[in-house]
Homo-oligomer: A and B are copies of this chain.
Amino acid sequence: MKLSEIARALGGELRGDGAVEIVDLAPIEDAPPGTLTFLADRRLAPRLAATRAAAVLLPPDAPEVALPSVRVAHPYLAFVAAVELLHPPPPRPAPCVDPSAVIAASARLGPGAVVGPHVVIGERTTIGRDATLHPNVTIYEDVAIGDGFTAHAGVVVREGTRIGDRVVLHAGAVIGSDGFGYLPLPEGIRKIPQIGTVVLEDEVEVGANATVDRAALGATVVGRGTKIDNLVIVGHGCRIGPECLLAAQVGLSGSSTLGARVLLGGQVGLAGHQTVGDRAQVAAKSGVHGDVPAGAVYGGYPATEVRVWRRASAALLRLPEALRRLRRVERALGLGVEPPSEE
């Protein structure tokens, strides 16, 4: 595809040779000859000197460059659009239910379904239009799923789960497993029945081998457009708002509440019954033991404001030396080492 055609499709302003042939797309640090790359930030423009890319997507205010370029308001977004232009998704296979699939008599599948081998669908489960169920997927009974559903191989959806439109479940994800609820009693551990359910709203995406547990009572809810990465656990009774991003291996204990557009870095853990406000962010690997206010950026273990945490953890590395200095000060003052009993 010629650069000029791409510029036109993206609605960008072409500068330089539009006849250059673009064979693929690549990030700037790794771009082979013939590729189109992008710079999200004008300050990164010096990197262009070393690239072998054939052309670049740039913000309107970036300095002139030697390479042919296309100026666009949001280069990363334009890059994504260009990826889709050069790599259109393969056409959906023709609707087809593999004969090895076992679909209960009372289940209902909308038109356009592609159902792979060894899929199992339970009694009274309903699935909307244009579902794609890859091989070895198991949907239990009494599940209600909207249109445009995709379940990759090995996905399990337990009984009673409710799923909106255009939801994507990656391979091995488990939706609706029992919450971890037990009463330790003197005579043994008593299981608390987990009779609630899970609601995944429209456009939710759940990563490979992630798990979303059913509520003990009521519902675990994942809000519209929220994306959950691999190996995350969403505990029973959590309520996650719309358009959150939960990176890999995040662990939400039972009854966590997340507002809208919350960002949780990888391996973040939330203790139970905490609330994270709208648009709050928590840095990777943090352990949250209290509420996080809306808009806050938290980090650390236990998590606090991330700049407080960063300063404290940098200071920590100077602590052994500071203890020696403190001792020197005490000696200079003729003070003993016994700490006073109270401050």
**CB closest chain-B residue, reference A305:** B317
**What are 20 A-B contacts with C-beta separation under 8 Å?**
A83-B217, A102-B117, A102-B135, A117-B118, A118-B120, A120-B153, A152-B177, A171-B174, A180-B229, A188-B243, A208-B211, A209-B211, A235-B248, A267-B269, A301-B301, A312-B317, A316-B316, A316-B319, A322-B323, A325-B339
Out of B100, B245, B340, name the residue touching A184 (CB < 8 Å).
B245
The answer to whether A120 and B117 touch (CB under 8 A), given A138-B153, A140-B153, A180-B230, is yes
Q: Mark A308-343, 1 if CB is under 8 A from B, else 0.
A: 110111111111111111111110110101011011
> A217 contacts B27, CB within 8 Å?
yes
15 additional A-B pairs beyond A208-B213, A209-B210, A285-B287, beta carbons within 8 Å, are A24-B217, A100-B102, A102-B118, A118-B118, A174-B208, A177-B207, A180-B245, A248-B253, A253-B266, A314-B320, A315-B323, A322-B326, A324-B339, A326-B329, A329-B330
Given the complex, which residues of B lie within 8 Å of A98, measured CB to CB? Answer: 102
The answer to whether B326 touches A320, judged by C-beta atoms less than 8 angstroms apart, is: no
For the side of the interface on A, what is the size category?
35 or more
Asked if A261 is an interface residue, CB under 8 A from chain B, the answer is yes
Closest Cβ–Cβ distance, residue A328 to chain B (whole Å): 5
> Which of the residues B156, B267, B330 comes within 8 Å of A153, measured between beta carbons?
B156
- A154 pairs with B152, CB closer than 8 A: no
A326-B325 contact given A171-B158, A233-B230, A248-B180, CB 8 Å threshold: yes
A residues apposed to B, CB below 8 Å? 24-27, 30, 76-77, 80, 83-84, 87, 89, 98, 100, 102, 116-118, 120, 134-136, 138, 140, 152-154, 156, 158, 170-172, 174, 177-178, 180, 182-185, 188-193, 195, 205, 207-211, 213, 217-218, 225, 227, 229-231, 233, 235, 243, 245, 247-249, 251, 253, 261, 263, 266-267, 269, 271, 284-285, 287, 301-302, 304, 308-309, 311-330, 332-333, 335, 337, 339-340, 342-343
